[in-house]
Amino acid sequence: MDKKTVKKQLQLKGIPAAPGIVIGKAFIFGGNDLVPIERKIADKDIPREIEKYNSVILKTKKEILEIEKKISEELGVEHGKIFSAHLLVLEDPVLIEEVIARLKKQKKNIEIIFHEVLNKYIDVLSEAKDEYLRDRISDIIDVGNRILRNLMGAEGKGLDSLSEESVVIAYDLSPSDTAMMHRGKVLGFATDIGGRTSHTAIMAKSLEIPAVVGLENVTDAVQDGDTIIVDGNHGIVIVNPTKAFLAKYQKDKKKYDHMEEGLIELKFLPSETKDGKKIKLAANIELAEDVSSVLFHGAEGIGLYRTEYLFMNRNTLPSEEEQFKAYKLVAQRMKPSYVTIRTLDVGGDKFLSQLDVPREMNPFLGWRAIRFCLARPDIFKTQFRAILRASAFGKIRLMYPMISGVGEFVQAGAILEETKKELRKKQISFDENIEVGAMIEVPSAALTSGIIAREADFFSIGTNDLIQYSLAIDRVNEKIAYLYEPAHPAILNLIKTVIDNGHKEGISVGLCGEMGSDITLTIVLLGLGLDELSVSPIAIPEIKKVIRSVNFSVARQIADEIIRMSTGEEIHKFATNKMKELVPEIATELGIE
Ligand code: PEP
Ligand code: MG
């Protein structure tokens, strides 16, 4: 008889973040493995570290109170009380005092100090004779790791150090955690929190790592080493599948991979409708390494290069030279196709520790993107110089994120002109005709796009933010993900306004948000008159298939009809039915309902 205990299968439903199916062993990330990197700090920075510690204590307290409330409601007050013990540890004055005293003495970053103190407590308690005290260890580890995770933010131990292929299970992953996966052995991942257009989800797509986010309790349901299936197409995670389920998913995986391989054959065919209307199909990238995938999937150019990833997972800013090398490499590899380099979009869910930007209450509404760059012309100009120099080696376009009105565009342009002048003086060559575009992702910019279009050479609509800001839906919050509706009439009308205003001024209008990868909306976006769609490289073959299967005249009629509808639900249903009618093979293959 096999004495091994068979674990019960569990199926969880979350938000599909990156397509594909993987099966592997679970690795719980962010548990006892949090190891901070040591940094020396100056005397003047001690108050900043203390402030960071205090604000993390507050944040952690809020999290614990929330869990306590949830558990009390769901399982009863008795269970909720466990977390009162966590609060006692969190607010223990002896612990707090010791951390601050060591910080002042040792002058090291707060994460490393806290880590040391935490380990000391654990060691002392492990030796304790009193059983009650020994039992407190798990509380201390639990709450200590929670504090540490909050302190470390984006600086956690990298996922590049996994020793074997695994499916990563985490409460949350920051975009920088995800960025590290490209060097690692991550087959797929599943998280408790997060939304479809969080930068973590976007990064997963770029890396072609199947992922499901917003599962709420995957970290509770899974143990290290459990067998996990991640179905990134449908947002499903299965823990310890039965033999029958395993066989079903192995078959589904084969079928999906086969379909993808089939679509790749479209690579050398143009992105045009049956009646000959061309729409540029470009790719979004985060890292210079992504270019291989862009070329493999047959993109016509790069519609969005999110340069902030070059600034992540490091203690210093990338120098002009380092940036220049990365931009030049991308430009050269893509030549003669174009590369749209977006200037630094720091802030929101992309926190860069080395920039010393204070944590904000509403980071997506705060000191982000162009606002940050205009206030830090030193950083902005370094990036400009690197981009301009690289423009001598390929076809580069430049683009500003989060423009809210023409003023910011003009201000950024003045700094760019200054930089160009300096380069000319030094006889450093660059593309004198470099095109400069604006991302339209703030409602005020969409509504004044007619004015901005007189200054800009092109537009690219960033729907991830445009939806977030127009519908007041935090793009990374899984609790309100159901309200994040790309097909909302407000969004389609804003997109139409931007396209029409751009075309009136004779400039091209693209779209580079995740909405562009939603194949149920491809026909609508085509019909609205977009000149370019820029999507994750893996989405390109499917989108191309849809474009090549329809007539532009029909797409236009569909868009005309849809733009007059009253609800997102109605629009979504209509668009999906049209897609199923016009491209049935792909709708069936992808299981679109
Ligand atoms: C967007 O907002 O749609 C966009 C493409 O930019 P990001 O996702 O990087 O904010
Ligand atoms: Mg954006």
Beta strand 236-239 with 227-231: parallel, antiparallel or unpaired? antiparallel
Q: Enter the pTM of the model.
A: 0.76
One digit per residue, the tens of pLDDT, for the chain of length 593 reads: 344 556 789 999 999 999 999 999 999 887 445 667 778 888 988 999 999 899 889 888 887 787 677 666 755 676 566 677 778 888 888 889 999 999 999 999 898 899 889 888 888 877 777 766 666 676 777 788 788 878 876 444 557 667 789 999 998 887 777 877 876 789 999 999 988 888 889 989 988 999 999 999 898 899 889 999 999 999 999 999 999 999 999 998 888 888 888 888 888 899 999 999 999 999 999 999 899 999 999 999 999 999 999 998 777 899 999 999 999 999 999 999 999 999 999 999 887 866 777 778 899 999 999 999 999 999 999 999 999 999 999 999 999 999 999 999 999 999 999 999 999 999 999 999 999 999 999 999 999 999 999 999 999 999 999 999 999 999 999 899 999 999 999 999 999 999 999 999 999 999 999 999 999 999 999 999 999 999 999 999 999 999 999 999 999 999 999 999 999 999 999 999 999 999 998 777 776 77
Catalytic site residues? 199, 512
Please indicate, yes or no, if residue 406 is contained in any of the structural domains.
Answer: yes
How far apart are the C-alpha atoms of 316 and 75, rounded to whole Å?
Answer: 47
Domain termination residue (choose one: 152, 179, 201): 152
- Clarify whether residues 360 and 415 are in a common domain: yes
- Clarify whether residues 449 and 565 are in a common domain: yes
- Clarify whether residues 366 and 496 are in a common domain: yes
- Clarify whether residues 104 and 238 are in a common domain: no
Tell me which residues have their CB closer than 6 angstroms to ligand 1.
202, 304, 306, 345, 441, 462-465, 512-513
Please tell me the residue having the least CA distance from ligand 1 atom 4: 462
For residue 70, the enclosing domain spans 43-152
Ligand 1 centroid–CA 440 distance in Å is: 10
- Quick one: which atom of ligand 1 is closest to the CA of 348? 10
- Clarify whether residues 348 and 439 are in a common domain: yes
- Clarify whether residues 207 and 281 are in a common domain: no
- Clarify whether residues 485 and 571 are in a common domain: yes
Closest CA to 445 of 526, 528, 504, 501: 501
Domain termination residue (choose one: 90, 118, 152): 152
How far apart are the C-alpha atoms of 146 and 225, rounded to whole Å?
Answer: 22
- Quick one: which atom of ligand 1 is closest to the CA of 441? 2
Interhelix angle for 93-106 vs 110-127, to 10°? 130
From the centroid of its chain, how far is CA 225? 27
Please indicate, yes or no, if residue 452 is contained in any of the structural domains.
Answer: yes
What secondary structure, in 3-state letters, does 511-580 show? ECCHHHHCCCCHHHHHHHCCCEEEECHHHHHHHHHHHHHCCHHHHHHHHHHHCCCCCHHHHHHHHHHHHH
- Clarify whether residues 71 and 190 are in a common domain: no
- Quick one: which atom of ligand 1 is closest to the CA of 462? 3
Please tell me the residue having the least CA distance from ligand 1 atom 1: 462
Contact 523, 550 (CB under 8 A): yes
Ligand 2 centroid–CA 551 distance in Å is: 31
- Clarify whether residues 347 and 373 are in a common domain: yes
How far apart are the C-alpha atoms of 343 and 330, rounded to whole Å?
Answer: 15
Ligand 1 centroid–CA 227 distance in Å is: 34
Please tell me the residue having the least CA distance from ligand 1 atom 6: 462
Please indicate, yes or no, if residue 38 is contained in any of the structural domains.
Answer: no
Ligand 2 centroid–CA 284 distance in Å is: 12
Q: How many domains does the chain have?
A: 3
What are the distances in angstroms from CA 117 to CA 55, 98, 335? 18, 8, 53
Q: Does residue 325 sit in helix, strand or coil?
A: helix
Contact 212, 14 (CB under 8 A): yes
List the strands of the sheet with 211-213, edge to edge: 10-13, 236-239, 227-231, 21-29, 166-170, 186-191, 211-213, 15-18
- Clarify whether residues 302 and 325 are in a common domain: yes
Please indicate, yes or no, if residue 264 is contained in any of the structural domains.
Answer: no
Please indicate, yes or no, if residue 309 is contained in any of the structural domains.
Answer: yes
Please indicate, yes or no, if residue 433 is contained in any of the structural domains.
Answer: yes
- Clarify whether residues 318 and 433 are in a common domain: yes
Whether the bond into 270 is cis, omega within 30 of 0: no
- Clarify whether residues 136 and 252 are in a common domain: no
- Quick one: which atom of ligand 1 is closest to the CA of 468? 2
Please tell me the residue having the least CA distance from ligand 1 atom 9: 306
Ligand 2 centroid–CA 421 distance in Å is: 29
Please indicate, yes or no, if residue 265 is contained in any of the structural domains.
Answer: no
Residue 122 sits in a domain whose CATH number is 1.10.274.10
Helical (H) or strand (E) element with 139: helix 137-152
Contact 141, 122 (CB under 8 A): yes
Please indicate, yes or no, if residue 267 is contained in any of the structural domains.
Answer: no
Q: Nearest bound ligand to CA 342?
A: 1
Residue 221 sits in a domain whose CATH number is 3.50.30.10
Residue 516 sits in a domain whose CATH number is 3.20.20.60
From the centroid of its chain, how far is CA 530? 24
Contact 468, 446 (CB under 8 A): no
Domain termination residue (choose one: 259, 284, 303): 259
